[in-house]
Amino acid sequence: MSERTASTRHLAYMRVGIGVLLLLRTTPLLAPFHIPWLRSTVPLLGWPTGGFSLAFLPVWSIQALCVLRTLAALLFTLGVAGRVSGVVCGVAGFLVALQYPLGFFFTIHLLYQAVILLAFTDAVSALALAPSTPRRSPLDVWLLRAFVASIYFWAGVYKLRPDWLDGRTLGLFHQPSALSGRFVDLLFARPWLPALVAKLIAALELSLGPLLLWRNSRRFALPAAYALHLVLELSAHPDLLGWGMMVLLLCFVPTEMSARSRELAKP
């Protein structure tokens, strides 16, 4: 398998992963599990209920956009007209989200953006029922890498505030619906620990982007990033955001053989 094919395959895995997460987050597929933050997905995420609304679009058009977003997400995941379905899914999704300005949440922001970005790569040219024509752009993987690195960067920068660095903000999240569990209780058992952990999180997020982008440090930065999201999943239950990030981190999984490996592989 050539390097490009392997890289396209990784992008295609990401397309399928992000598409599945989007479908799980915007439709009632997980409703039987009674997950609190998925209550609003019946019949579809953003479906108008008839109450007082801040929406600027009429009800029928919001309903149509919800259906369009779901169909486009399904086609995108299956790899049918991936470029068009990805963009339509993302744009329709954002239009629905704009109707509920006070209900914005980062998971859906991440998924819609990821869908649009992946539609502009060769992710839609492999593992697809009807593959799109590959464009063979050298920027494909780097577009996704820059996206992931920017998320860590902005998240880290936002934490450079006195009330985060001294651990007080972390304390605000110490409640059953946010940060909970034995591990978290241990964190708050010592008064100096929250401040230390808050500083470590900020430092980790600020450094993860560059460390992931730099090839030499990627081998330890990638496991560190996965570990961060797994710990957050276990302690903070952050919607599907962590899973989305773990799918997007696939763009850093090495696909090409290094020069030294090639030398060693030569007969």
Partner 1 sequence: MDEKESDVPEPVSGHRLSGLDHYQVRPAPAPWRVWQCGLGVIVCILLPAWSWLDGSGSLAWSMYAHSSSFRLRIVSFDRGGKQRSLAPSALAAHAEQDLRTALGGAEAFRHARQGRLLQRYLPELAQLACQVSRAERVVLTLEDKRDLDEPARVSVERRQCSPRKQADP
Q: Give the binding site for partner 1 (CB under 8 A).
A: 1-2, 4-5, 8, 40, 48-49, 51-55, 79, 100-104, 106, 109, 113, 116-117, 120-121, 125-140, 143, 146-147, 149-151, 154-155, 157-159, 161-164, 168-169, 172-173, 178, 232, 236, 238, 241
- CB 20, min distance to partner 1, A: 15
- CB 16, min distance to partner 1, A: 10
Query: Which residue type sits at 208?
Result: L
- CB 257, min distance to partner 1, A: 14
Query: 155-192 b/e with 16+ CB inside 10 Å = b?
Result: bbeebeeeebbebeebbeeeeeeebeeeebeebeeeee
Which residues face 130 on adjacent strands? 80
Tell me whether residue 64 or residue 219 sits nearer to partner 1 (CB atom). Answer: 64
Rounded Cα–Cα distance for residues 238 and 83 (Å): 29
- CB 82, min distance to partner 1, A: 10
Tell me whether residue 19 or residue 238 sits nearer to partner 1 (CB atom). Answer: 238
Q: Work out the number of other CB atoms within 10 angstroms of the CB of residue 12.
A: 23
Rounded Cα–Cα distance for residues 151 and 113 (Å): 12
Tell me whether residue 55 or residue 84 sits nearer to partner 1 (CB atom). Answer: 55
